[in-house]
Amino acid sequence: MSFRSAVVTFPGSNCDRDMAVAIERAAGTAPIRVWHGDTDLPDRLDFIALPGGFSYGDYLRSGAMAANSPIMRSVKSAAQRGVPVLGVCNGFQVLTEAGLLPGALMRNASQNFICRTVTLKVENARSLFTAGYRAGEEIRIPVAHHDGNYFADDETLDLIEGEGRVAFRYVENCNGSRRDIAGVLNEAGNVLGMMPHPERAVDPAHGGTDGSTLFDHALKALADA
């Protein structure tokens, strides 16, 4: 059975093509492009990606309106069945607003849009998404966000840290995120939200290829399963 993936596009998404290119590069098969107004995902999906951008113009709160799009009911159901879901930047915001990940993404502490390459520390190297890295490894991945300041209360932070669900941390905190958190996993480990853009670091022309490890390992593991 061939590998099947999907990239969801919302009004205002601007990294959906980048995500699709990164997935096709790693998997050898182009993902199915899904519109936010669709009510059902394609059958037999192995992987779902929610891309970056400014869904619905970031009205109300970033990701809040997209989290209530018709397609998100199917995304939630798929995640609950164990289908891997990756949300990057705005996709991370959508996952928190949809209740698939804990916490919230707030305005950057500087109140400025941040667009540069940052250094991340791999905190959990045991998940589907991160097992291609080494625990403690430092990688360089671009960020581009205005609302990337990860917030959760102390009890929630203690819980996710105690369960090993922090996937990545900023080496130098660029946005004020609590405990330097840059990426978070759900309890089952099949949903990852991260603010930095691994799909923008998969080709030497991007200035670095540290993001390719995430796609190469995860999609190969799924294709071989």
Choosing from 15, 36, 89, 206, the catalytic residue is 89
Of 174, 199, 206, 217, which is the active-site residue? 199
Distance CA 97, CA 90 (A): 10
- 24, 9, 89, 15: which is closest to 219 by C-alpha? 24
Given the residues 36, 145, 146, 197, select the one marked as catalytic.
197
> Is 197 in the active site?
yes
CA nearest 195: which of 94, 111, 126? 94
CB 6 within 8 A of CB 46: no
Q: Determine the Cα angle at 184 with ends 75 and 187, to 5°.
A: 65
Asked if 137 is an active-site residue, the reply is no
195 contacts 24 by C-beta, under 8 angstroms = no
In whole angstroms, give the CA distance from residue 176 to residue 181: 9
59/62 Cα distance (integer angstroms): 7
Distances (CA, A) of 5 to 36, 41, 126: 16, 10, 22
199 an active-site residue?
Answer: yes
- Enzyme catalytic residues: 89, 197, 199
